[in-house]
Structure 1
């Protein structure tokens, strides 16, 4: 089927193949065990919550165990794999997806869990500034947990990005992820128009790999950038994946 828009509250979309964008415009929708292939679109899966006057109330969406990518020509890609379009989705769960050939893998802004996803082989165009999994400030409760994000391309910011672009970064926990590539492997919220962040950014128990790094780093320039932990426990338990040595500076 082509583009799919979901408007039924509580709908369950399972084991389908969609050659086009999936747009979720209703609460408590599940998209599971499916293949969604879309190129040259803003988001492969667009979760639209935050404009209820227009019928855009997609809180509680679950996007689980899907293949999300673009299989078009060499110069084609999607802008995002999964996106909280208006930055207001509550209770969003993005779990166990395989995402490739996108400019940015997963963007979640307000509240939710991003867990167990594999983001890799981003699609690069001149001028791109990629990220694997991202938040841009003002979160109420966001968790990035147990994801694998491997960025082999040039022109990337980081596998995991927290910026203060739209509001001071806050309330984001980054734990048990495996990351490599980018300029740095993690950005910690102290950059953007609203930096410095308001705290409660936690980077705990992650594995950093040199597989796509440079000069002994996880990324081109280092491991973690723009991060000022509120207390010592906010940066702990992180290690190199190759030999389990603790990350320096903790």
Structure 2
């Protein structure tokens, strides 16, 4: 366990069953503030079951110096990750996970924007399986961003992803629903339920610049329900 430390520079986790908690990690101009590497045993990378909990993860510099990611499953192969209770700022993307991961109770805000950036708060990028995004707060602006929460199928189809009880704002859309990328459509069981959409940073009537939801197919065994505006609990969806 690594606990109650202050680090100026990125943290790289290669071993299994490591916990980083109650610490402050500042890393500018880094690929990831916390890089979790697994799936390449020949290189000694086997960071399954990593826990990243209750940390301050950011960059103290200008947006031009921001880190690319707050917490990153670098090779998309780490299993059993728990990323919870972290305060993440001045990054391009907040948290990326792919396999058997729980991402819960994180606060992602004040992303560092460079020209050409397409930001996301919480993301999967291909082959996501058994991922839970629950009770996170993701506050984005609308400056060249994708969405607070994105499920992409860039490298393989997503399946069994649950997005629940999150508070989100900003973005081109509030959510990307898995049917996008080279391996779309998603394989199914993509759930967006009980989320709240904030008008803070959003254009009037929308959490996202172009709408609330995109790349989501009701033809799969997916679920989308009880997602409401935070200020009056009305649903923006038919």
Q: TM-score, normalised by structure 2?
A: 0.97
In the alignment, structure 2 segments of 5+ residues that lack a partner are none
Q: Secondary structure at the match of 1:143?
A: strand
Write the mapping of 1:66-145 to structure 2, written as runs, cut at 5 A: 66-145=55-134
Distance 2:31 2:138 in 1: 20
Which residue is 1:39 aligned to?
28
Superposition deviation, residue 139 in structure 1: 2.0
1:198 equivalent in alignment to 2:187: yes
Q: Secondary structure at the match of 2:211?
A: coil
Compared CA separation, residues 245 and 101, structure 1 to 2 (3 A): same
How many residue pairs align between the two structures? 238
Q: Secondary structure at the match of 1:75?
A: helix
Q: Secondary structure at the match of 2:35?
A: strand
Q: Secondary structure at the match of 1:235?
A: strand
Distance 2:2 2:173 in 1: 37
Q: 1:167 aligns with which of 156, 161, 185?
A: 156
Superposition deviation, residue 247 in structure 1: 3.3
In the alignment, structure 1 segments of 5+ residues that lack a partner are 1-11
Which residue is 2:143 aligned to?
154
Q: Secondary structure at the match of 1:114?
A: strand
Which residue is 1:65 aligned to?
54
Write the mapping of 1:174-213 to structure 2, written as runs, cut at 5 A: 174-213=163-202
155-164 or 70-79: bigger deviation: 70-79
Give the alignment's Cα RMSD to 1 decimal: 1.3
The 4+ residue runs of structure 1 with deviation greater than 6 A are: none
Superposition deviation, residue 232 in structure 1: 8.0
Distance 1:101 1:53 in 2: 34
Q: TM-score, normalised by structure 1?
A: 0.92
Distance 2:222 2:148 in 1: 22
CA contact (8 A) 1:24 1:47 kept: yes
Compared CA separation, residues 112 and 68, structure 1 to 2 (3 A): same
Distance 2:192 2:156 in 1: 20
Q: Secondary structure at the match of 1:53?
A: helix
CA contact (8 A) 1:199 1:229 kept: no
